[in-house]
């Protein structure tokens, strides 16, 4: 069971790594943008 599980994880990672990476970049960009807006609002206020 454990070797099958590891091979399954490797196969899924190879297939979904691009999607996981894209989602991570989008989340980081969104959080950075929100913090940037809050930072600019603090400077303006």
Which residue segment(s) compose the domain that 39 sits in? 18-45
Q: Is residue 3 part of a domain?
A: no
Q: Is residue 31 part of a domain?
A: yes
Q: How far apart are CA 42 and CA 2, in angstroms?
A: 52
DSSP state of 4: H
Q: How far apart are CA 45 and CA 33, in angstroms?
A: 18
Taking residues 10-14, report their average pLDDT.
70
Q: Is residue 38 part of a domain?
A: yes
pLDDT at 17 over 70: yes
DSSP annotation string for 4-39 = HHHHHHHHHHHHHHHHHHHHHHHHHHHHHHHHHHHH
How many domains does the chain divide into?
Answer: 1
pTM exceeds cut of 0.75: no
Q: Is residue 10 part of a domain?
A: no
Q: Which residue has the tokens 């400077």?
A: 43
Q: How far apart are CA 24 and CA 30, in angstroms?
A: 10
pLDDT of residue 2: 59
Tens digits of residue pLDDT in 19-28: 888 899 999 9
């Amino acid at each position: 069971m454990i070797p099958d599980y590891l091979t399954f994880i490797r196969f899924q990672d190879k297939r979904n790594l691009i999607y996981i990476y894209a989602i991570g970049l989008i989340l980081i960009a969104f959080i950075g943008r929100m913090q940037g807006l809050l930072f600019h609002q603090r400077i303006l206020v």
